[in-house]
Amino acid sequence: MVEKVKKLLNDSAIARWSALVLVALMMFFGYMFVDVMSPLKTLIEEKLNWNSGAFGTYAASEYFLNVFCFFLIFAGMILDKMGIRFTGVLSASMMVIGATIKFIGVSDWFQATSFCIWLDSWWVALPGSAKMACLGFMIFGCGCEMAGTTVSKAIAKWFKGKEMALAMGLEMAIARLGVFAVMWLAPLISNAFDKSVVAPVAFCTALLLIGLICFIVFTFMDRKLDKQLVAEGLMSEEKSSEDEFHISDLKYIFKSKMFWIVALLCVLYYSAIFPFQRYAPNFLEVTLNVDNETASRLFSCFPILAMILTPFLGALLDFKGKGASMLMIGAIIMIGCHLSFAFLLPLFPYKWLAVTLIVILGVSFSLVPAALWPSVPKIIDEKILGSAYCVIFWVQNIGLCLVPLLIGLLLQSTGGYMVPMIVFSSFGVLAFFFSFLLKVEDKKKGYGLELPNVKKKEN
């Protein structure tokens, strides 16, 4: 008889938190690359001859394949069918490939090539460099969103019955540190290389390679955990027909009312956050009349409080609960911040006021994700959890793809940021409505969104 494993690898605090750091680093570098060009909008318009419309199209391109080619739906199927290790390596590799193409697109030598000149000749509203950058960002976006769902499922596996919300909160905190870092580093690297757009992109591309290596290291740990789970009889070496993922299982996702409430809440909330990040440095430049480096440093304060609070909020969810209530509070805070950006800051354009509003918005960015993502395993079966995350991300990506385009058009037509900020706040109002609906539905059906995640041991 095979001797039972007395202690699983994820029972070791050192092992499971090390695994978390490895996967979180991949997302940290990914978040850096996502926003590497956000602090450089003014410089990009000067050096690459992009306008606000072109920048908005570039920002939207990250989500194009995920939304219109349904890549995220397929990503969920791949994740549930092929597993965490395969999907994670694939997604990290796609991020590196996409980043390399984008780096080529914004490079000085590429703009002089006959290929770039040919790209310039069609759809003249978008320069050839922007078209190439968009192609790379599309591929990167597929990898980045797939990586996000893979990491969520990996954490759900390694922290099941343990500090899941705290772990997800820490992962998000580490990832958001990437936003803080790039808001400082991108202008510094650009200035160090004579106002270069290429240098910051190249730097973040190199970091993505390190992220790929980190995830490969994690795969060895995850393989060892699977062997232990098989030895314990907690997982079959080959999935039974009941446990194996089937495409037909997707109907359980699409038929779930609770799932769609979460998905719509997600798209509305994040549509007021990530597109705002793309334009925030330029918004501060215009509103406060400061240079782009100063604006980027001011906005870098956005994730600071989120980084500090998210792990504590995760721990609160693990041991006390109240997830649905936190979603409602987060939406209310976001509404107030965006309305203040629209009406208050232009009247009182002080740096301290801007930083205060940005930091408070970061509180909202702590409350909502910390409560949202650990709630999904409570309403969706584990064998289709990867697909569920990916469908949520797909719905979210629809907003993240279309909203930057909308904001770019509004900026061109109005010449100011008041209307875009009102649009962002309106998303917050709708997000509050769905968070309220979520709490009502949870009370009716008893999904346990207000209950703690950590299971108390019985004496």
Name the residue range of residue 149's domain: 12-445
Cα gap 151→384, rounded to integer Å: 15
Render pLDDT for 146-157 as a digit per residue (tens, 0 to 9).
Answer: 998 899 889 988
Determine, yes or no, domain membership for 4: no
Residue 437: predicted pLDDT: 92
User: Whole-angstrom Cα distance, residue 334 to residue 360?
Assistant: 8
In a domain, residue 285? The reply is yes
Please tell me whether residue 4 adopts helix, strand or coil conformation. Answer: coil
Q: How far apart are CA 394 and CA 66, in angstroms?
A: 6
At residue 236, the pLDDT reads 58
15-59 confidence digits (pLDDT tens): 999 999 999 999 999 999 999 998 888 888 888 888 888 888 898
HSE, side-chain direction, 13 A CA sphere, residue 297: 8
Q: Are 250 and 384 in contact (CB under 8 A)?
A: yes
439 domain residue, yes or no: yes
- pLDDT above 50 for 1: no
Burial 359-379 (b: 16+ CB within 10 A, else e): bbbbbbbbbbbbbbbbbbbeb
Q: What is the pLDDT of residues 303-312, one digit of tens each?
A: 777 777 777 7
Q: Is residue 66 part of a domain?
A: yes
Give the residue-averaged pLDDT of 327-347: 94
| Residue 385 located in a structural domain | yes
- The mean pLDDT of the chain is 86
Burial 79-111 (b: 16+ CB within 10 A, else e): bbbebbbebbbbbbebbbbbbbbbbbbbbeebb
Listed in sequence order, the DSSP H helices in 193-256 are: 198-231, 250-254
Count of domains observed in the chain: 1
For position 93, what pLDDT does the model report? 97
For the chain, helix (H) and strand (E) counts, in that order, are: 22, 0
- Amino acid residing at 381: D
**Distances 178 to 187, 208, 301 between C-alpha atoms, Å:** 14, 12, 12
Q: Which residue in 315, 268, 437, 455 sits closest to 378, CA to CA?
A: 455
Residues 84-106 pLDDT 10s: 999 999 999 999 999 999 999 99
> Residue 6 domain-assigned?
no
Average pLDDT over residues 117-137: 87
What's this model's pTM, rounded to 2 decimal places? 0.76
Whether residue 390 has pLDDT greater than 80: no
Read off the CATH number of the domain in which 36 is found: 1.20.1250.20
Any idea what the Cα angle at residue 84 is, between residues 3 and 399, rounded to 5°? 150
Find the length of the chain.
Answer: 459
- Is the residue at 245 inside a domain? yes
At residue 254 the predicted structure's pLDDT band, cuts being 50, 70 and 90, is confident
Average pLDDT on 336-354 reads: 96
Distance CA 39, CA 292 (A): 6
Q: Over the stretch 166-199, which tens digit does the pLDDT of each residue have?
A: 888 788 888 888 888 998 899 999 999 988 999 9
Measured distance CA(201)–CA(106) in Å, rounded: 8
- Asked if 270 contacts 396 with a C-beta cutoff of 8 angstroms, the reply is yes
With a pLDDT cut of 90, the percent of the chain lying above it is: 39
Inside any domain, residue 435: yes
Q: Residue 109: which residues within 8 A CB-CB, separation 6 or more? A: none
Q: How many CA atoms lie within 13 A of 303 on its CB side?
A: 28
